[in-house]
Structure 1
Amino acid sequence: MKNLILKHSNLNQTNDTVCVYTPYEQRLETYLIPILFFIIFIVGVIGNGVLVVIFIRHPTMRSIPNTYIFSLALADLLILITCVPFTSIVYTTETYPWGEAVCKISECVKDITVGVSVFTLTALSVERYCAIANPLRKLHTKSIAKFTVTLIWIVATAFALPNLVFSGIRTRPKYDSIGRDNDTLQICYPFPEIENYEQYSIVIKFFIYYVIPLFILGYFYILMAIHLHTSTKRMPGDVQHTQGISQVRSRKHLARMVLVFVFLFFICFLPQQIFLLWFFLNPKSEEEYNEWWHALKMIGFCLSFLNSCVNPVALYCISGVFRAYFNRYLFCKGPTWSPQENSFATISFSASSTMRKRI
């Protein structure tokens, strides 16, 4: 059945005011989305919670790249706890039930977490390049990493303040099955009643949170790949060669880990970005809205929140060190290595200070 929505979609939630109205009990998303959000909430809170515990309780894990991962986990926990329980019902009720305060906080927090995630991944990629290309660089320190993370949170919060100011409850008409204005409903809307504000906001956020970081990440990953390739060729001596290969493998592993995070972020937010650009920039979007666009909107909505729980899962799959700690806290299984091996594994994962001693 074809649903046509009016232009009051926002970044993560859209209550459908429809010209051909479909009752909510007849919509697939009414039953599917709460289940998906429940899974996202449980997996995300447990996974990111364990990451935070690992960072706080184990000093050996407080390396430079792990500081950025800790920031990502905090951002994901923030959106999972403050937004997911409230946003999960957006497609299952006809009107927004939580009030203006929750609407403002939810919209603001969503932009904060997106900003923190993309800026942290960008900073992490730059840090990895600096660690690989010039491990002796004086600015490559934990204090600089902490300062960068703090600055990222401040900047992301500043960018999200318009949502805190302008978001609010708006009343929109609801249509019955033959298209008559039959009733009204309330929606949480992040844009003010200013002409063309939605279009400018969507385009600016698309460049700040998506296009520009993507180009920066691509640039530094190309430099990283070139340096790793050339450094492998110029390793002299047997002992130095063995140590050099170990260093290169460790650095490649870290680079792959960050690349996985970047890939997951941009894949999770791609459908939503496509839908928002099409819907707000296309003058005929209301007329052309069909089942395909509705499905893309649903997929983008779910994937944008799924991104908050995938990083711990990715870490569990690609990092033996984090896998051991996850097993310890989740399944009560102790590490499979001795303290010395644990220290070395942590170094192999992220301790660039030890790499500096070897080079």
Structure 2
Amino acid sequence: MDWATEYPFPEGNSSMVFNKSIDNINQILATSFNMAPEHALEAEEYGCFTANCSPSEYVEFVLGPQTLPLYKAILITIIFGAVFITGVIGNLLVCIVIIRHSTMHTATNYYLFSLAVSDLLYLLFGLPTEIFLYWHQYPFLFGLTFCKIRAFISEACTYVSVFTIVAFSMERFLAICYPLYLYAMVGFKRAMRIITALWIISFLSAIPFGLLTDIQYLIYPLDNAPIAESAFCSMSPEVPNIIPIFELSFCVFFVIPMIIIILLYGRMGAKIRSRATLKLGVRHGTINQEARNSQKKKKTVIRMLAAVVVTFFVCWFPFHIQRLWYLYAKNIENFQDINEWLFSIAGFAYYVSCTINPIVYSVMSRRYRVAFKELLCGKPVGAYYNSGFARDCSSFREPTTATTNKRGYDRVQSVHVRSSHYDNANETASMSSNRVLIKKTYSLPLPK
């Protein structure tokens, strides 16, 4: 069993590299000093009677071997290395695609950009060190400053991800259920203000983890001196008993957001289903195909965002449950076996959560698939416009109340590409038809 399965108080998840339970220390100390001669065989079960152990032997007895077995270290390195490479490349592609394509400069994509940046920080600060610690479990070699920064960044990026998912879920909820209210707000500026605020709140909320994380040492029982070679980066085990830090994290950054998002997507799903039963518009005596396409695209967006939310919570649920299991389930039968399984699942899902989002975008969004292909194949921006990329993207342009000529021009210009299938040049040249076309630039149907 990994040491951290019994002591999950690290910065990030670095404690998974330590073997054996820190809870055994008190039992070991009692055995070392209070062992009666007739219980000598009982001492042998611990494998190290303190009076006969050097400090290095005592550290290995408590924390396990300094290096994991070679086959385990190689296997973990391959798995986590694949997660790291996939996550970094995928999130970088998302960021580059959103930056390069002006048609993707929407409030929703700004939230996804924020999510990709937080995932990148999470991977870069956490996973390389995690892999190294499987090859060199102790002592911790990166110093107190890096220990605290890593704890702080890991927790802060987690909170950013939660808040971002809640924010763009609310954005889609307003777009589907209260379009007039959304139209009355300036989309881009509002999104930027919200994203800035959630990053600030997340970093402020993570400060306690950075302050309370420190370099910890085992104490050698014979002289009560810390053993330098046992250094590891972790939160003190007394902290969760004094401050309900993990309970608060679970409630504020998992339970409450999950309830909010379930309610939002439930309302959105009901709204879309109710609209699907109605005629979306009539043109020349037939059902308006444009309206049908718009409704279909909205359903695709909802499925993509819902998939992001589901995968996020599936990835993070084991992490929070394992923390609470350690705190409250120690007296349950088979505690250690269950904890070990929970910890293994949580440790893997902990980093996979940063990798899965770009995959979800690619699978469920045609816009992202086309943009990824354009970027990877080296074609210039706009090379796919003739294949329908511009028409697809223009249907998702965020509605705004900007009154500048530039914004008005953008809205008319973007719809000319779409309207070319339905209107001739004379129709689109008239002011009245332009007003109709401007209505079509909205990604949502106008209220009846």
Deviation of 1:133 (Å): 1.5
- Percent of pairs identical after alignment? 26
Q: Distance in 2 between matches of 1:29 and 1:214?
A: 35
Which stretch of the first structure deviates more once superposed, 234-243 or 115-124? 234-243
Which stretch of the first structure deviates more once superposed, 234-243 or 332-341? 332-341
Q: Distance in 1 between matches of 2:3 and 2:238?
A: 25
Distance 1:236 1:67, change over 3 A: closer
* Higher RCO (C-alpha under 8 Å, 6+ residues apart): 1
Partner of 1:178: none
**2:319 is paired with a residue of what secondary structure?**
helix
Deviation of 1:358 (Å): 5.6
Q: Which of 266, 273, 284 lines up with 1:222 in the alignment?
A: 266
Partner of 1:307: 353
Distance 1:6 1:352, change over 3 A: closer
Q: Distance in 2 between matches of 1:325 and 1:4?
A: 42
Q: Distance in 1 between matches of 2:350 and 2:8?
A: 19
Partner of 2:7: 7
Q: Report if aligned partners of 1:3, 1:291 keep a CA contact under 8 Å in 2.
A: no
**2:231 is paired with a residue of what secondary structure?**
strand
Distance 1:276 1:233, change over 3 A: same
Deviation of 1:2 (Å): 8.9
Deviation of 1:243 (Å): 3.2
The amino acid across from 2:357 in the alignment is: N
Deviation of 1:280 (Å): 1.7
Q: Distance in 2 between matches of 1:357 and 1:273?
A: 37
Q: Report if aligned partners of 1:269, 1:300 keep a CA contact under 8 Å in 2.
A: yes
Q: Distance in 2 between matches of 1:5 and 1:195?
A: 16
Q: Distance in 2 between matches of 1:49 and 1:2?
A: 33
Deviation of 1:233 (Å): 2.5
Q: Which of 316, 325, 330 lines up with 1:278 in the alignment?
A: 325
Deviation of 1:326 (Å): 1.3
Deviation of 1:248 (Å): 1.7
Normalised by the length of structure 2, the TM-score is 0.71
Distance 1:160 1:196, change over 3 A: same
Deviation of 1:356 (Å): 5.7
Partner of 1:323: 369
Q: Report if aligned partners of 2:88, 2:120 keep a CA contact under 8 Å in 1.
A: yes
Q: Is 1:355 aligned to residue 442 of structure 2?
A: yes
- Give the alignment's Cα RMSD to 1 decimal: 2.9
Normalised by the length of structure 1, the TM-score is 0.87
1:28-177 superposed matches below 5 A = 29-95=72-138, 96-137=140-181, 138-139=184-185, 141-172=187-218
Partner of 2:300: 253
Distance 1:134 1:221, change over 3 A: same
Partner of 2:241: 196
Q: Distance in 2 between matches of 1:277 and 1:92?
A: 28
Per-residue CA shift, 1:84-104, capped at 9, x if unaligned? 211223344331221111111
The amino acid across from 1:253 in the alignment is: T
Deviation of 1:210 (Å): 0.8
Number of residue-to-residue matches in the alignment: 351
The amino acid across from 2:147 in the alignment is: C
Per-residue CA shift, 1:16-73, capped at 9, x if unaligned? 3525755343386433322222112211111111111112222111111101000001
Q: Distance in 2 between matches of 1:261 and 1:228?
A: 19
Q: Distance in 2 between matches of 1:161 and 1:2?
A: 27
Q: Distance in 2 between matches of 1:212 and 1:74?
A: 23
Larger radius of gyration: 2
Q: Distance in 1 between matches of 2:217 and 2:9?
A: 13
Q: Report if aligned partners of 1:3, 1:294 keep a CA contact under 8 Å in 2.
A: no
Q: Report if aligned partners of 1:131, 1:140 keep a CA contact under 8 Å in 2.
A: no
Q: Report if aligned partners of 1:5, 1:289 keep a CA contact under 8 Å in 2.
A: no
**2:218 is paired with a residue of what secondary structure?**
strand
**1:25 is paired with a residue of what secondary structure?**
coil
Q: Is 1:187 aligned to residue 232 of structure 2?
A: yes
Distance 1:238 1:8, change over 3 A: closer
What 5-or-longer segments of structure 1 have no aligned partner? 176-181
